[in-house]
Amino acid sequence: MTRIAYLVSSATEITMADGTSHPTGYFAEEAIKPFESFTAAGFDVAVITPDGKKPTADPYGLNWYFHYPEEDKDYLNSVVRTFSHDVDDIRFTLHQNTELGLAASRRIAAALEGKGMTPAQVHDQVSKAAKIAWRHDRHLADVMVEDGLTAGLSPVEIHQAVATQRAASEELAGERKARLDEIEGFNHPLDLRSLGDDELAGFDAVFAPGGHGPMVDLADNPDVGRLLVALHEKRAPIASLCHGPALMLSAPERADGQWLFDGYRMTCFTDEEENQTEPGLLGLPWYVDTALMNAGAVFDDGPSAWASHVVVDRHVITGQNPGSTEAVAASVITALKAASSAKAA
């Protein structure tokens, strides 16, 4: 059976640039979705932490606005795409995504359809209001009410749609945390330090989810380096997401003195995205984006912040941000199934 080393940070705090400590851990969405995708694909997923300690979900990553239901997320994406003719010209910040109520677009649209509008008319109306909110930093509900875009909805109905969406996200965040808490491997992970080189070579892939935790205990870790070398030698998938690519910084130098992954294309949570997060605004000690480039990576980020972006270079698979979670997991599954088919041929 295909076996994946699911490498999760067990860090609970990170030392900031000013020397203070800030809570951290793994990002819940980035941990649960790939885990469930891999197990559904029939893979044996072994949860491992650098020290064998139980990993902790980053409190920041459990905020409701990181857990939009898929239907709300998909509708919001369709609305955002109307903001400009060229996606490269759209700059959708974390503030706009989390504080302007734009995720309620689908709920407001459903209420408008109840007033007799067609889906196309509704989409145009909501997109018009959302574009105004995006450009002028105003809450979507306020734009619709104050700019006369309610199309028959009362202010109460519009604000109720926003509240209903937030409640759904809060519930989803709780559900994801509960599912993680029920996973045996997350409660009793393997200790990377105790695994011999032969055991490490027995894995068919490694995957590391993000959260700021990997910056603490997956970078510059000799045992992580042993795992990377073991999988690199057999060209097995080495995959990571968001801040997870910090693990690549544990790779040793080659005989020629260059970093093991020198010249590989990869991505991670970008400096631009980092500067919009709570820890980034407080002041992080370093940035994964810059560190990978300094190590020798050819950095490849998406056309805009927060958009899904996955980079596959040979057997190295990296995802840029939480929005890339599903795509990274799918890429790993594709690579492993291709490897299994090749072995069987």
Determine, yes or no, domain membership for 117: yes
- The DSSP output letter for 57 is B
The phi and psi torsions of 334 (rounded to 5 degrees) equal -60, -45
Q: What is the pLDDT of residue 90?
A: 87
Note whether 245 and 336 are same-domain residues. Answer: yes
**Residue ending a domain, choose from 157, 177, 197:** 177
3-state SS class at 61: helix
222-238: average pLDDT: 98
Asked whether the beta carbons of 270 and 305 are under 8 A apart, the reply is yes
| Domain identity same for 204 and 321 | yes
Q: Cβ neighbours of residue 117 under 8 Å, at least 6 residues apart?
A: 125, 151
Query: pTM, whole model, 2 decimals?
Result: 0.96
In a domain, 278, yes or no: yes
Q: What is the CATH number of the domain that holds 326?
A: 3.40.50.880
Q: How many domains does the chain have?
A: 2
Provide the residue type at 338 as one letter: A
One domain, residues 195 and 246: yes
Are the C-beta atoms of 145 and 133 separated by less than 8 Å?
Answer: no
Q: Are residues 339 and 218 in the same domain?
A: yes
DSSP single-letter state for residue 105: H
Residue 318 lies inside a defined structural domain of this protein: yes
Cβ-contact 258, 330 below 8 angstroms: no
Same domain assignment for residues 205 and 139: no
DSSP state of 51: T
CA–CA gap between residue 130 and residue 137 (Å, rounded): 10
170 and 196 housed in the same domain: no
For residues 337 and 224, membership in a common domain is answered with: yes
Say whether 153 sits in a helix, a strand or coil.
coil
- Identify whether residues 163 and 300 lie together within a single domain: no
DSSP 8-state code for residue 200: H
Q: Which domain holds residue 124?
A: 64-177
Last residue of a domain, one of 119, 149, 177: 177
Q: Model confidence over 63-87: pLDDT tens digits?
A: 999 999 999 999 999 999 999 888 7
Does some domain include residue 182? Answer: no
pLDDT per position as a tens digit, 96-150: 999 999 999 999 999 999 999 999 999 999 999 999 999 999 999 999 999 999 9
Q: Exposed/middle/buried for 53, CB within 10 Å: 0-12, 13-18, 19+?
A: middle
Separation CA 155–CA 178 (nearest Å): 35
Residues 339 and 254 in one domain: yes
Contacts of 279 (CB under 8 A, 6+ apart): 14, 16, 22, 24, 60, 212
Q: Which residues contact 275 (CB under 8 A, 6 or more apart)?
A: 281
pLDDT digits (tens, 9 = 90+) for 192-220: 999 999 999 999 999 999 999 999 999 99
Indicate the average pLDDT of the chain: 97
Question: What is the residue type of 125?
Answer: Q
Same domain, 212 and 237: yes
Residue 183: inside a domain, yes or no?
A: no
User: Quick one: which H or E segment has residue 310?
Assistant: strand 310-313
Place of tokens 């705090």: 13
Structure-block tokens of residue 107? 């709920």
Residues 50, 75, single domain; the answer is no
Same domain, 121 and 265: no
